[in-house]
Amino acid sequence: MDIFGMPVQALLAQLMIGLVNGCFYAVLSLGLAVIFGMLHVINFTHGAMFMLGALLSWAGLYYFELNYWVMLFLAPLVVGAFGIVLERLFLKRIYKLDYLYGLLLTLGLTLIIEGAVRSAYGVSGKPYGPAPISGVTDLGFLMIPNYRLWVIVASLLVCAATWYTIERTRLGAYLRAATENARLVEAFGINVPVLVSLTFGFGVALAAFAGVLAAPIMQVSALTGQTMIVIVFAVVVIGGMGSIAGTVVTGIGLGLVEALTKVYYPEASSMVMFLVMVLVLLVRPNGLFGGVE
C-alpha cells in the first residue's frame, strides 16, 4: 500500500523518527518557557545545556563507567546545579535591565560553554555506542526500536510531571503566582530569589535530560545546541509560551511535520519548521496558543 507514492511502512518509520525528534523539541521548549515565565529571560544557553547533557552521559560512560540509567539521573542534576551557579553568578544581575541584556548574557555564556567543549573535544560528534535498550517491538504494521519507544514514553512522562507540578502542587502555585507578580509573592514571605534559581536549574535540567535521551541516537557534538536552539525558538514563537500543553503539542507537531517533509521533499526538511512559523505569524501573529507577550 502506498500513500502519495510512498510505502506506508517507510512513511510510518519516518513519522516515528519525527515523533522522537518532536519529543526533544517539546522537552526543550518546555524548559525554555518555564524559565521565561519566571525570569523573563530567553535562555540562549538552552541548546548548549542539551548538548552538555548528552556529552555528560557519554563522558560518564567513557571515563567512569557510569551506565546510561545512572547518567539519565545524574546528568540533569549536574547540569541543573551548573545552571543554578550561572544564575547566581550572572543572570541575577540583569533582571532589572532591558530584555536585550538577558539575551546577550545568555548568548555570551553559550559561546563560552560551546567554545570550551569545542576546544576540549573538537566539533565531531561523540558516538555513544549501542543504545541501552536493544531490540525492536513489532506493532504488526511497523517495527519500532525499543529505545525510540522509551524516548517517547520518558519525554511524555517528564512533560506530564512538569505539568502536574506547575498546575497542581503548592510549589507550582508559587511559580505561577511569581510569574505574575514576583514582588507580591515575596511580600507573602516566599523566598523568590531561591525560587528563581531553582526554576532556572530545573529548566536547564530538562534540557540536559533530553540531551541524555538523545545521546544514543543523535551524534551530539559541541555545536548541536546551536541548531537545536533555533528550532526551539521557532517552537515557542509558534506555540506561544503561555500554555504547557500548547508548547508540548507544538514541539511534537513540528517534529512530525519535519518528518513528513523528509519523506516527500527531503531538501526542505531542515527549513520546513521555519516556513510553518512564517505561516503562523502571518495568520495568527500571537502564536497558536494564546496571546501572552
CB of 104 to other proteins, least distance (A): 5
CB of 15 to other proteins, least distance (A): 22
At 35, the amino acid letter reads: I
Q: In this structure, are residues 28 and 83 in contact, taking their beta carbons and an 8 Å threshold?
A: no
- Find, among 255, 247, 259, the residue nearest to 287 by Cα: 247
Residue nearer to other proteins on the CB measure, 161 or 173? 173
Residue nearer to other proteins on the CB measure, 77 or 107? 107
CB of 120 to other proteins, least distance (A): 11
Cα separation of 100 and 268, whole Å?
A: 32
Residue nearer to other proteins on the CB measure, 82 or 233? 233
- Find, among 123, 129, 154, 125, the residue nearest to 20 by Cα: 154
Residue nearer to other proteins on the CB measure, 138 or 183? 183
How many residues comprise the chain?
A: 293
Cα separation of 260 and 99, whole Å?
A: 36
Q: In this structure, are residues 78 and 209 in contact, taking their beta carbons and an 8 Å threshold?
A: no
C-alpha cell of 263? 519523506
CB of 248 to other proteins, least distance (A): 18
Residue nearer to other proteins on the CB measure, 138 or 267? 267
Cα separation of 32 and 45, whole Å?
A: 10
C-alpha cell of 219? 551524534
Cα separation of 223 and 113, whole Å?
A: 10
Could you tell me which residues come within 8 angstroms of residue 150 by beta carbon, excluding any fewer than 6 positions away? 133
CB of 188 to other proteins, least distance (A): 4
Residue nearer to other proteins on the CB measure, 72 or 277? 277
Residues at the site binding other proteins, with contacts judged by CB under 8 A: 36, 42, 90, 93-94, 96-101, 103-105, 107-116, 118-119, 170, 173-174, 176-177, 179-181, 183-193, 226, 230, 233-234, 236-237, 267, 270-271, 274-275, 277-278, 281-282, 285-286, 293
Residue nearer to other proteins on the CB measure, 2 or 98? 98
Cα separation of 196 and 117, whole Å?
A: 27
Q: In this structure, are residues 244 and 29 in contact, taking their beta carbons and an 8 Å threshold?
A: no
Residue located via cell numbers 541524555: 212
C-alpha cell of 262? 523528509
CB of 281 to other proteins, least distance (A): 5
CB of 202 to other proteins, least distance (A): 18
CB of 234 to other proteins, least distance (A): 4
Cα separation of 286 and 151, whole Å?
A: 31
Residue nearer to other proteins on the CB measure, 115 or 129? 115
